[in-house]
Amino acid sequence: MGFKSFCFKKSLWVFHFGGASCNNCDIEILDCLTPRYDLERFGILLVGSVRHADVLLVNGSINRRDKDRLLEIYNQASKPVLVVAIGACGCTGGIFAEGNTFAGPVDKIIPVDAYIPGCPPKPEAIIAGIMALVKSK
């Protein structure tokens, strides 16, 4: 394991993209940063600008309007950037998969590195998913 990838894994800064979400996944993502779960002990921080992001957390069903925004956000991020799809809607489309305005799950629009299913996934599941992603890279 090289020095570069070691530093990258130890300091993942997260940018949160919420699509047309029902807000449950957003709340669970915020739970990960609260004192009970405390993602900062792994060096994970929530950043405000996508230019600083190393991980793009995408949740919610992506509808036709969100699609352009998601592409734009992904292109603005400084590479390398990992994409994590969170929740049933982000991974597959969930109950919106047959919907009229649905523009496809996240992996149809941008490349996805990890899927964390659940409706919503527990904070433990999100942490386990991100750690599994870090180990596999």
Q: Interface residues with other proteins (CB under 8 A)?
A: 3-5, 7-8, 10-11, 35, 38, 40-41, 43, 47-49, 51-52, 54, 76, 78-80
Question: Mapping DSSP to helix (H, G, I), strand (E, B) and coil, where does residue 23 land?
Answer: coil
Q: Which residue has the tokens 């996508």?
A: 50
Q: How far is the CB of 135 from other proteins (least distance, A)?
A: 17
Query: Least CB distance from residue 115 to other proteins, whole Å?
Result: 24
In three-state secondary structure terms, 61 is strand
CB of 7 to other proteins, least distance (A): 4
Judged by CB, which is closer to other proteins: 46, or 125?
46
Whose Cβ is closer to other proteins: residue 8's or residue 118's? 8
Letter string b/e over residues 72-104, b meaning 16 or more CB atoms within 10 A of that residue's CB: ebbeebeeebbbbbbbbbbbbbbebeeeeebbe
135, amino acid identity: K
Nearer to other proteins, 3 or 135 (CB): 3
